[in-house]
Structure 1
Amino acid sequence: MNPVLDGILEKEGGYTDNPADKGGPTNWGITEATARTHGYQGEMRNLTRDEAYAILEESYWTAPGFDQIAQLSLPIAFELCDAGVNVGPGWPSRWLQRWLNAFNLHGGKYEDLRIDGKIGGKTLIALRSFLAWRGKEGEQVLMRALNCSQGEYYLEITESREKNEEFIYGWIKNRVIID
């Protein structure tokens, strides 16, 4: 079992169907649309934890490359995957690339990245170089930076869609964690 995916499933919990939620019926953090693209045909309230785990692993862990990030930093991989489940994996991937560029001292420590939301070899090299250079403190600062981007994302989508005011407090409380 994967401790990142287990942690996300624990955080997401079970079935919800809030009319203000654009995602519609959701179980274990998996929206109905996502479940259907993975071949699930049942009622969303009946989606099992194992089925949700398989979807999370495929679409929110392996496909975006967060499994590769985990080889370098499990906390950063958790942050990216958790955010990806909530907002889609492309956003946190771009946030990571943007922050790595911003922390790069004008390209002096590693090659600047193209902000494409794809975790590939160059992103992994940049992260590896950043962590080797800045160590555990750098890992913590990068986590804070990613949380800043996530918080800004929530603020923007709430300002553009009033119904999100129902969710923003919980998003910040449960997802933007700066310790």
Structure 2
Amino acid sequence: MANLDVLAPFIFSFEGVYGNDPIDRGGATKYGVTIATWKRLGYDKDRDGDIDVEDLKLITLDDAKMIMRKNFWNKWQADAIKDQSIANCLVDWVWASGAYGIRIPQVKLGVLADGVVGPKTIAALNKQDPKEFFTWLKERRKLYILRFVQNQPAQKKFLKGWLRRLDGIKYGSLVYNNGKEVRF
């Protein structure tokens, strides 16, 4: 079964320290965790009575991994996915693009495309030929990214990085932002 400990370091290798690029639709972000997500799932780290950007600046990689597990890995019920490569691609898609990373694959799987992963979605996913589904998944995700940038031209500044990260998700390995390849 898939394991978050394989995927998390890969994602964090691409997600930098604190940033607040006005073009980034996520707003203030640290380790890929947006301020909106931290307000919803985090806590008052600086103990000043509110959850705000100052708290986000204080999060650790362990905090970010907790958010990843709670709000992204578990949304895909990835512990029940038999193939690590498929889990990597699916969870990274949800991390980067939200529910589209569930709904689009659900259409391909022939289950209700409601953005909620249940037993039918997992069963259909685990019945797929892993390499064929992985190939489709990467191609479809690339198309999603290209269309997103076409419809949101200001996001083009992130395109090269998004595609490089997607390219780093290989069948049987992950290529980190620094070029290090980890096989599993």
TM-score (norm 2): 0.76
Residue aligning to 1:76: 86
1:1-179 aligned at under 5 Å gives the runs 2-40=5-43, 41=51, 43=54, 44-69=56-81, 72-88=82-98, 90-101=99-110, 113-130=111-128, 138-177=129-168, 179=170
TM-score (norm 1): 0.78
Higher RCO structure, 1 or 2 (CA under 8 Å, sep 6+): 2
Q: CA RMSD in A?
A: 2.0
Higher strand share: 2
Moved over 6 A (4+): none
Q: Distance in 2 between matches of 1:17 and 1:115?
A: 33
Q: 1:86, CA displacement in angstroms?
A: 0.6
Higher helix share: 1
Q: Distance in 2 between matches of 1:158 and 1:129?
A: 32
Q: How many residues align?
A: 158
Give unpaired runs (5+ residues) of structure 2: 44-50, 171-184
Q: Distance in 1 between matches of 2:103 and 2:26?
A: 22
| SS in structure 2 of the partner of residue 61 of structure 1 | helix
Residue aligning to 1:105: none
- What is the aligned-residue identity percentage? 28
Amino acid at match of 1:74: Q
Give unpaired runs (5+ residues) of structure 1: 102-112, 131-137
